[in-house]
Structure 1
Amino acid sequence: MIAARFGLGGRRALVTGAGRGIGRGVAEALASAGASVTLCARSAADLDEVAAGIAAAGGTAETLVLDVTDAAGFAAALERRPAFDIFVNNAGTNRPKPLDEVTGEDFDAVIGLNLRAAVFTAQAVARGMVRAGKGGAIINMSSQMGHVGAANRTLYCASKWALEGFTKALAVELGPRNIRVNTICPTFIETPMTRPFFEDPAFRRQVLGKIKLGRLGQIEDVAAAAVFLASDAAAMMTGSALMLDGGWTAD
């Protein structure tokens, strides 16, 4: 009975930033658990590749080519689709640099995607969930940097701390509708995009010195957490942050 609670059969899931990296891994994991997954990103080629892989593995996936910073376009696209049961609000970016080098364009890019787009995509998905009246699960992709600070990451930390507050408030608001809202808070995850940074021995030592488990996070770590939060196994969990930081924030 416990194992069955992790199944997602019959549920519709939407994942933003699904063309690569963490978003791709999460989409593949949700599909493997039985969900019918809608893959959203700007690159049609990336999405087609992910969808083909999911289909080859016996899953179900469709693509939605959109820029999530276009709030009106995103909302309009969802109006034409049945409500989703699961939303993984994953699209995000980072521009690490000292504060005295941060530009207005940097601010608009990081806050615009990590916070503004996250808020209005959640709004559009939640509207559909409320109309359908079946409840649901919204998973906002946050970070350990939504709980601690770090040099050269003022904008990123600001966006993720704000996302944590937004998540708690939305969980309170949507709880009576049986819509659960949580965050996943990874540490440094090894992806094709981040792997080159860890080729610098000093940076790798610095990061691993903060991760008590002594290893970098893997995409599978995040994907498994997303399946848990999307499933009935997390039926009593809302307004919470699921820390996948290897102990970074423990001290």
Structure 2
Amino acid sequence: PQCASITPVCVDLADWGATEAALQDVGPIDLLVNNAACATLQPFLEVTPDKFDQSFDVNVKAVLHVSQMVGRGMRARGSGGSIVNVSSQASQRALREHAVYCASKAALDMLTKVMALELGPYQIRVNSVNPTVVMTDMGRLGWSDPEKSNTMMSRIPLGRFAGKGPDTPSSHQRTRRR
């Protein structure tokens, strides 16, 4: 491992019982970064209950659950800590076929504010970051089409998505190729 003091834990975060079992023997946690997410793109009129539940289970409910477990430990130790929730700019802007993803990230932003309010007195800082599209496999799924991505990239001062890989050229590279 790159950092011996970090132990990865692999678990389906939508499964509360499995999550509790996986975190039961993990030592004291001073910093938690909630970065797991899922997105299924569906037009608003075609959103299905299973995809809605999956998004909210992973993008909101899992953050609440893991943060409760970690936050209780931080509070009990009395030494404070920090929780960072990775949200998205999609929480603040409507995107076609992203109704459920946008809604789940907006819910995460408000959850973050409530967590900060309630955990602050215990010296537990809670913040969220709202990056643009990150070109992971999930990001490529929704944003590889230049017709869709050019509008979004035109609003980004750097003119590119985060983590841009070789198969997703920046808008500057696209302009040169035309």
Report the TM-score, using the length of structure 1 for normalisation. Answer: 0.60
What is the aligned counterpart of 1:119 among 64, 79, 83? 64
- The answer for the alignment partner of 1:185 in structure 2 is 130
- What stretches of structure 2 of length at least 5 have no aligned partner? 165-178
Structure 1 contact 188–216 (Cα < 8 Å) conserved = yes
- Counterpart mapping for 1:81-230 below 5 A: 81-195=26-140, 199-218=144-163
What is the SS of the residue equivalent to 1:63? coil
- The answer for the alignment partner of 1:71 in structure 2 is 16
Structure 1 contact 93–110 (Cα < 8 Å) conserved = yes
What is the SS of the residue equivalent to 1:217? coil
Deviations, residues 29-78 of structure 1 (Å, cap 9, x unaligned): xxxxxxxxxxxxxxxxxxxxxx3xx15xxx44323221111223322433
Which protein has the bigger strand share?
A: 1
Q: 1:198 to 1:166 in 2, by over 3 A?
A: closer
- 1:158, CA displacement in angstroms? 0.9
- The answer for the alignment partner of 1:26 in structure 2 is none
Separation in 1, partners of 2:155, 2:49: 31
- Counterpart mapping for 1:47-62 below 5 A: 51=1, 54=2, 59-62=4-7
Task: State percent identity of aligned pairs.
Answer: 37
Q: 1:73 to 1:191 in 2, by over 3 A?
A: closer
Q: 1:208 to 1:114 in 2, by over 3 A?
A: same
- 1:196, CA displacement in angstroms? 6.1
Deviations, residues 202-236 of structure 1 (Å, cap 9, x unaligned): 123222122232121228xxxxxxxxxxxxxxxxx
Structure 2 contact 41–142 (Cα < 8 Å) conserved = no
Separation in 2, partners of 1:72, 1:116: 13
Query: Counterpart amino acid of 1:190?
Result: M
Structure 2 contact 38–138 (Cα < 8 Å) conserved = no
Structure 2 contact 32–70 (Cα < 8 Å) conserved = yes
Q: 1:64 to 1:128 in 2, by over 3 A?
A: same
Structure 2 contact 85–112 (Cα < 8 Å) conserved = yes
Query: Counterpart amino acid of 1:81?
Result: V
Structure 1 contact 74–124 (Cα < 8 Å) conserved = no
Structure 2 contact 39–138 (Cα < 8 Å) conserved = no
Structure 1 contact 82–128 (Cα < 8 Å) conserved = no
What is the SS of the residue equivalent to 1:138? strand
Q: 1:75 to 1:196 in 2, by over 3 A?
A: closer
Structure 1 contact 171–180 (Cα < 8 Å) conserved = yes
- 1:201, CA displacement in angstroms? 2.5
